[in-house]
Amino acid sequence: MKNQFEHLPKAEYYSGLWYLDVPNRAGVIVKLRERFKTDLCERVYEMYPKAPKSHIAKLVGCAGSTVAYKIAKVEQRKKMRADVVHEKKTTLPIDVVSTPEEEEAFNAIANAQQVGGTHYKDKTIQPWDYIASNNMGYLEGNVVKYVSRWKEKGGVQDLEKAMHYLTKLIEVNK
């Protein structure tokens, strides 16, 4: 089975917190933030309950046994919630809100570094800042990314990649 998360960056640790970008069901990238890496396993499983444990483990960077343990805890909580009668429907909160200070710290760290070249770092507006500020999904974001860097990095091949993502975006929105 193909890993649905293989295209995503792995979990990263900044200022005492673990961060992980994951698309929600609508395809919008949300930033998960947890104090412990293992808690990211739970969050990803809550978003993608049918995802194989091995895919979650690889994305978050945890051992498969850790993921299995965390999934068992989530399932146990679901069962306990099902036993309790609620007056209104409740959902698990997904904390994607961060304080301005956290956002500033994240941007200062992330924008100051780039792995593998300067094709984004030299831009007036980095593509990921444009993508995030316009709430673009994965497919739209990749179109922006490849069109932004084609002259400095991949040449015509990057334009072809952008066209590939654009074709998929059109296909899923018809």
pLDDT 10s per residue in the chain (174 long)?
Answer: 566 666 666 777 777 777 787 777 677 777 777 778 778 788 877 787 887 878 777 778 777 777 777 778 778 777 776 665 444 444 445 455 566 766 665 666 666 666 666 666 677 778 887 888 788 889 999 999 999 888 888 889 999 999 999 999 898 888
- Residues 109 and 70 placed together within one structural domain of the fold: yes
Q: Could you list the residue range(s) of the whole structural domain that residue 121 is in?
A: 116-172
- Residues 126 and 102 placed together within one structural domain of the fold: no
Residues 6+ apart with CB under 8 A from 88: none
Cβ-contact 8, 21 below 8 angstroms? yes
Cβ-contact 153, 121 below 8 angstroms? no
Backbone angles phi, psi at 165, to 5 degrees: -65, -40
Output the pTM of the full model. Answer: 0.39
- Residues 22 and 81 placed together within one structural domain of the fold: yes
> Domains in the chain: how many in total?
2
- Residues 128 and 159 placed together within one structural domain of the fold: yes
CA distance 150 to 69: 43
Question: For the segment 143-169, what is each residue's pLDDT rounded down to a tens digit?
Answer: 999 998 888 888 899 999 999 999 998
- Residues 34 and 97 placed together within one structural domain of the fold: yes
DSSP state of 123: S
The secondary structure element, H or E, covering residue 70 is: helix 64-83
- Residues 92 and 145 placed together within one structural domain of the fold: no
Residues 6+ apart with CB under 8 A from 158: 146, 147, 149, 150
Q: Which long-range contacts (CB under 8 A, 24 or more apart) does 140-146 make?
A: 140/169, 141/29, 143/169
Q: Which long-range contacts (CB under 8 A, 24 or more apart) does 163-172 make?
A: 165/139, 166/139, 168/139, 169/139, 169/140, 169/143, 172/139
